Amino acid sequence: MWVGIDDTDSVQGGCTTYVATEVITQMEYDLIGLPRLVRLNPNIPWKTRGNGAMALHVGIGGGKRHMIGEIEGKPVYCYSHRKREANFSEMATLLEKIIRRHMKRDAQPAYVISTRKPPASLYWKAVRTLVEKEEVMAELDGTAEYRLYNGGRGIIGASAAISWRPGDRTYELITYGNEKWIERESVIAMDRACPGTFNNYDYRNEYIALLPKSTSPVFYGIRGDSVEELYRAKEMLVTSKEERWLIFETNQATDDHLQRKKISQVKPYESVIVKGYVKREPYVIKGG
């Protein structure tokens, strides 16, 4: 069974990945494979603050077991395959409780539950173009159960996260906690010792890039190409003690949102690769 969640956060705070950790710790089922963090089209004006949706594959696990996190002192495992499906009504009841508890006032959350994935085209549309929720609902009708809150625009991201078929992929180890202290020198040392990680430290502007800039339960996040190197990187950091941590499979740094197009073919909200000439020196704007 696949569970998708999106749009529980807002500019005032919150984090959909944190909501996913709440689902994981409270459900009576196992994770099948890594939880998925899927970033969507970065150009949509009403995107969520983190622009990321969650997908969890849940059920009764079988095969090899791997530790992928820790929540309040208890290890979190995922399994290599599913032996038995989870119960629809149980998962729906749990999602209802958790989303209502954690959703922000101006958010538009939604969850999707399905025993089969929507078509991959839904992911590609959501990461590259503008998608209307009515289009997604029409795709899901008869094949999935879903619930919308406050308009429920999150159904787009929740469905796209489930429909993602990873080709290229990266990983992120995200920690959470209220006490947030980290030694700058340890971040720099880790960045230099772990070449398979990225976006740890901004040497030009001299700030720690793995720390979030907004109000959030997230403490820090280490991104990389290898799960094993994320474990090593975490051990090198000198920080206050986190309350929980979890490793996600992601589409970050894959450039899935980019399309090669002629300038005459470019549509609003698209990210494209075009040929041209640099007329003046580039400069940094807010959000980029």
Cα separation, 4 vs 161, in Å, equals 6
pLDDT, tens digit, 9 for 90 and up, residues 265-281: 999 999 999 988 889 99
First to last CA, the chain: 36
The CA distance from 188 to 171, in Å, is: 20
As a whole number of angstroms, the distance between CA 274 and CA 77 comes to 44
Q: Which domains does the chain have, with CATH numbers?
A: 2-163 (3.30.70.2200), 170-250 (3.90.600.20)
Which tens digits make up the pLDDT trace of 90-149?
999 999 999 999 998 889 999 999 999 999 999 999 999 999 999 999 999 889 999 999
Please tell me the predicted confidence (pLDDT) of residue 272: 95
Q: How many helices (H) and strands (E) does the chain have?
A: 7, 15
pLDDT of residue 183: 98
User: Would you state the pLDDT for residue 287?
Assistant: 64
Q: Tell me: the pLDDT tens digits for 7-32?
A: 998 777 789 999 999 999 999 999 99
Model pLDDT, residue 12: 72
pLDDT at 288: 54
Q: Compute CA distances 133 → 16, 148, 155, whole Å.
A: 19, 10, 7
How confident is the model at residue 13, as a pLDDT? 77
pTM, two decimal places: 0.93
- 151-210 per-position pLDDT tens digit: 999 999 999 999 999 999 999 999 999 999 999 999 999 999 999 999 999 999 999 999
Is the pLDDT at 235 greater than 70, yes or no?
A: yes
Contacts of 139 (CB under 8 A, 6+ apart): 118, 119, 122, 159
Indicate if the pLDDT at residue 214 is higher than 90: no
pLDDT of residue 11: 75
Q: How far apart are CA 80 and CA 105, in angstroms?
A: 37
